[in-house]
Every structure is written in C-alpha cells, then in structure tokens.
C-alpha cells in the first residue's frame, strides 16, 4: 500500500510560503516469509547427495521469535539427531526439505516533504524519509536455522535493519 497526502496546513494562519506544499508519503508492506530449508549434512540416509532431512515426530509449532528467545519453531517437532545412533541408516527422513514458510515482514517507510516556490521557474524541495519507521523487528527467513545438527536449530538469527533516516534537499528549475 502506498500513499501520498497533501497536508492541509494552508488553512492555518501564517505566510503561505510556509504553510503550503507539505506532503506525507509512505509505503507499507506485508509479506510472507520464504520457505525454511530443513536439512543437515552427513548423508546418513546414504543417498550420496550429502543432505539429510529430519524425521518429523509432531506437528510443527511456529512461535513469535520476538517473544520466545528468537525461537521460530519448536525443535521438539523433529527427532533429536541425524546420526545413525538416532535414526536408521539408509533411510531418508520423513520431513520434506521445505515444509513451512519462515517469518513474514511488516514494514512501513514514510516521508515528510515540503515544496516551496522561490520564483516562477525555481522551487526548493526538502524531504525527510524514515525506513522501517516503527522499528519493527523483521526476522529474515534465510536466518532461520533448519539444520537439526546445529545447537541453534529452530532459531531465527538474522534481523533486517532497524530504523534508518535520511534528509535531502534539491533545487528544481
């Protein structure tokens, strides 16, 4: 969703040069995450591919990584380990490589802009922009650890950048 609103400051008292030409702009995006890759190394399934998939033993329980210590899904949904000591050698795990999507993103970028006429042919544009204006922690799907051999299995470890701002000005002639 994108928006551009001309602010109604012209009705206020004061010089028109100061009270006109204000705009509030923005873009808000809601997106699903990309699939989480569930795989580990070792080739215990003896497929000669070098990748193994874990055995799913319970329904996958997804969590909010912001409130669960960065845990995105419960590791207890999968059998504990990929070695021949835990799983049967020569058998591929029951979980598909991409069985669910990672965390989605919610992002709002906003800008405040002022256009001021200097002369008939020259104008000044001043702009303040903020990216991720609400500083929402967006965990990246690529940062969800799907390797059952890892001590961080199930955790979301990578976050998109926080709030970033910039100011610009330009002369239009």
User: What does the pLDDT read at residue 15?
Assistant: 75
In angstroms, the CA 63 to CA 73 distance is 6
In angstroms, the CA 170 to CA 173 distance is 10
What pTM was estimated for this model as a whole? 0.71
User: What does the pLDDT read at residue 28?
Assistant: 97
In angstroms, the CA 18 to CA 15 distance is 6
Over the stretch 87-112, which tens digit does the pLDDT of each residue have? 567 777 778 878 889 999 999 999 99
Each residue's pLDDT expressed in tens, for the chain with a length of 173 residues? 999 999 887 666 667 777 888 999 999 999 999 999 888 766 666 777 667 778 888 898 999 998 888 899 998 888 765 555 455 677 777 788 788 899 999 999 999 999 999 998 999 999 999 999 999 889 998 889 988 878 899 999 999 999 999 999 999 99
- Collapsing DSSP to helix, strand or coil, 101 comes out as strand
DSSP 4-21: EEE--GGGSSS-HHHHS-
User: What does the pLDDT read at residue 81?
Assistant: 55
User: What does the pLDDT read at residue 163?
Assistant: 93
In angstroms, the CA 102 to CA 66 distance is 14
Taking alpha carbons only, the member of 49, 67, 93, 82 closest to residue 148 is 82
User: What does the pLDDT read at residue 50?
Assistant: 63
């Amino acid at each position: 969703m994108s928006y551009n609103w001309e602010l109604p400051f012209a009705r206020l008292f004061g010089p028109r040069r100061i009270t006109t030409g204000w705009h509030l702009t923005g873009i808000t995006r809601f997106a699903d995450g990309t699939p989480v890759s569930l795989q580990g190394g070792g080739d215990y399934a003896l497929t000669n591919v070098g990748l193994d998939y874990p055995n799913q033993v319970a329904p996958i329980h997804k969590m909010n990584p912001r409130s669960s210590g960065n845990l995105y899904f419960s590791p207890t949904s999968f059998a504990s380990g990929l070695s021949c000591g835990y799983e049967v050698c020569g058998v591929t795990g029951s979980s598909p490589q991409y069985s669910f999507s990672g965390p989605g993103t919610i992002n709002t970028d906003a800008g405040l802009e002022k256009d001021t006429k200097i002369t008939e042919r020259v104008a000044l544009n001043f702009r303040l922009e903020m990216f991720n204006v609400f500083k929402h922690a967006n965990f990246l799907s690529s940062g969800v650890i799907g390797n059952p051999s890892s001590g961080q299995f199930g955790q979301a470890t990578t976050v998109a950048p926080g709030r970033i701002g910039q100011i610009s000005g330009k002369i239009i002639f």
